[in-house]
């Protein structure tokens, strides 16, 4: 749970971002390990927001060259950044996991207007399970190759491999966007008591230790990861028909632009 003091400070920084960039914030949420349920005591607060520029900003012939993100350096353990609405909806169109997480938050710092509810309503129509099944393994594989092919491994990085692999399991079983919370994702795995106990042990360390450091490979987790990566190399997700979504998202964009600025 994010404290009231942190929430107030995040909102203060959002107001400064609006003033500095002449934009309006539509949604601001907590992302990263605190939203996923495995934050260390010293984890940053990863506040992410979606904002809308004034209509004339989108009518420039140099639109594609204009910066469509707002980023600030990490100060006092607060990592705050945002996406322009058009960029966010284009990523939604591609079933980007980051956007999908932002519209399914466990902690909302603030929201304005109808953006959040309307994006959630469109999620079942826009989200492509097949895209998720394609994207998540590449995330897991990148982290695995970077950290887990040596005898000693950075323990906290296990979560950054497990989370996308469990997300694939969720998509395969339930055919809908994977939840944010790591505990819910674990529900996609039945049995495997040694693997589940190893995760419990690792979580206990992660939630209490500011720095987990290097350790020998945790074999039940290591074996599960290697098994899943091999399995995912041998399958091809089925292509399913889905509603043509570009008109839906373009209509939403125009409507939200008018709602924000009149």
C-beta atoms surrounding 188 within 10 Å: 18
Say if residue 34 is in the same domain as residue 114: yes
Say if residue 45 is in the same domain as residue 150: no
Q: What is the mean pLDDT of residues 235-261?
A: 85
Q: How confident is the model at residue 241 (pLDDT cuts 50, 70, 90)?
A: low
Residues in the chain: 262
Q: Are 229 and 140 in contact (CB under 8 A)?
A: yes
Say if residue 13 is in the same domain as residue 90: yes
Say if residue 147 is in the same domain as residue 20: no
Say if residue 108 is in the same domain as residue 15: yes
Of 105-114, 159-168, 218-227, 239-248, minimum mean pLDDT range: 239-248
Q: How confident is the model at residue 242 (pLDDT cuts 50, 70, 90)?
A: low
pLDDT in tens, 218-239: 999 999 999 999 999 887 766 6
Strand 78-84: give its sheet, edge to edge. 69-71, 78-84, 45-52, 24-31, 108-111
CATH of the domain at 113: 3.30.460
pLDDT in tens, 47-85: 999 999 999 999 999 999 999 999 999 999 999 999 999
Say if residue 80 is in the same domain as residue 8: yes
Q: Domain tally for the chain?
A: 2
Give me the pLDDT at residue 225, please: 95
Among residues 158, 38, 50, 53, which one has the least CA distance to residue 100?
50
Say if residue 246 is in the same domain as residue 206: no
Rounded Cα distance, 65 and 132, in Å: 29
Q: Is the pLDDT of residue 170 over 80?
A: yes
Q: How confident is the model at residue 134 (pLDDT cuts 50, 70, 90)?
A: confident
Q: How confident is the model at residue 207 (pLDDT cuts 50, 70, 90)?
A: confident
Q: Which domain holds residue 148?
A: 129-233
Say if residue 122 is in the same domain as residue 133: no
Q: How confident is the model at residue 21 (pLDDT cuts 50, 70, 90)?
A: very high
């Amino acid at each position: 749970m994010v404290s009231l003091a942190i929430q107030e400070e995040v909102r203060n920084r959002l107001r400064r971002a609006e003033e500095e960039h002449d934009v309006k914030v539509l949604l601001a949420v907590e992302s990263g390990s605190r939203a996923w349920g495995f934050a260390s005591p010293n984890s940053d607060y990863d506040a992410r927001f979606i904002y809308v520029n004034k209509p004339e900003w989108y009518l420039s012939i140099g639109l594609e060259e204009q910066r469509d993100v707002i980023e600030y350096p990490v100060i006092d353990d607060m990592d705050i950044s945002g996406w322009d609405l058009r960029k966010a909806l284009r990523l939604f169109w591609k079933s980007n996991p980051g956007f999908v997480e932002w519209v399914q938050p466990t902690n909302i710092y603030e929201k304005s207007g109808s953006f959040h509810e309307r994006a959630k309503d469109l999620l079942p129509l826009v989200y492509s399970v097949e895209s998720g099944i394609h994207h998540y393994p590449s995330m897991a594989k990148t982290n695995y190759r970077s950290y887990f092919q040596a005898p000693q491994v950075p323990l906290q990085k296990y979560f950054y491999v497990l989370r996308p692999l469990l997300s694939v399991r969720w998509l395969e079983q339930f055919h809908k966007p994977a939840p944010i919370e790591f505990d819910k994702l674990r529900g996609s795995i039945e049995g495997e008591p040694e693997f589940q106990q190893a995760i419990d042990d690792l979580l206990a360390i992660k939630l209490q230790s500011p720095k987990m450091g290097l350790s020998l490979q945790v074999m039940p987790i290591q074996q599960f990861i290697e098994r899943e990566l091999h399995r995912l190399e041998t399958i091809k997700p089925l292509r399913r028909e889905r509603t043509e979504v570009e008109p839906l998202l373009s209509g939403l964009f125009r409507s939200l632009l008018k709602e924000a600025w009149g």
